[in-house]
Amino acid sequence: MNVNREQLLQELTFKASRSGGKGGQHVNKVSSKVLLSWDVQQSAALTEEQKQRIAERLANRISKEGLLQLDSSIDRSQIRNKELAIERFFLLIEDALKVDKKRIPTKTPKSVILNRLDRKKKQSDKKADRQWRIKD
């Protein structure tokens, strides 16, 4: 991945809110949930080809406005949730930009074919032996 992480970090916007769920008073008064937003098409850190690949691979995660949004409310700390969201963001981007190797079809080895035919013959013999006993 040839992406400038520092430049990408500057393009991210963060929003904090109350996370909800279990936790009692702490959850109700502390804004520890972090929402990370990033505009894919406006990014200066990526080439057009990279933007296109991300748009295709992460189509289900990108909103109609073109924003990639991730949230994190795992930890009680807002700072830790921000770090977790950034980690997940970079993993997601790296995975989306990874170019899949083209599969080269190979011929099935002869030994594998012979093993399969041998197994089929044994199974056939077993069934044939059962049929013979039933007729007697």
Confidence of residue 35 (pLDDT cuts 50, 70, 90): very high
In a domain, 102, yes or no: no
Do residues 75 and 135 share a domain? Answer: no
Domain containing residue 117: 110-136
pTM above threshold 0.75: no
Q: What is the mean pLDDT of residues 53-60?
A: 91
Flag whether 104 is in a domain.
no
- Same domain, residue pair 120 and 61: no
State the helix-helix crossing angle for 48-57 and 78-97, rounded to 10 degrees: 100
Map residue 1 onto helix, strand or coil. coil
Residue 19 is assigned to a structural domain of this protein: yes
DSSP alpha helix (H) spans, 34-109? 48-57, 78-97
Structural domain tally of the chain?
Answer: 2
Question: How far is the first Cα of the chain from the last one, in angstroms, to the nearest whole number?
Answer: 71
Q: How far apart are CA 120 and CA 126, in angstroms?
A: 10
What's the CATH number where 76 sits? 3.30.160.20
Whether residue 114 sits in one domain with residue 93: no
Burial label for 79, CB within 10 Å (0-12, 13-18, 19+), is: exposed
How far apart (Å, rounded) are the C-alpha atoms in residues 90 and 84?
10
pLDDT of 2 above 80: no
Could you report the per-residue pLDDT of 64-90, keeping only the tens digit for each? Answer: 888 999 999 888 888 999 999 999 999
Maximal CA-CA distance, the chain: 84
Does residue 103 lie within any of the structural domains?
no
Are 71 and 130 in the same domain?
Answer: no
In a domain, 86, yes or no: yes
Instruction: Taking residues 51-57, report their average pLDDT.
Output: 91
Residue 67: in which H helix or E strand, if any?
Answer: strand 67-72
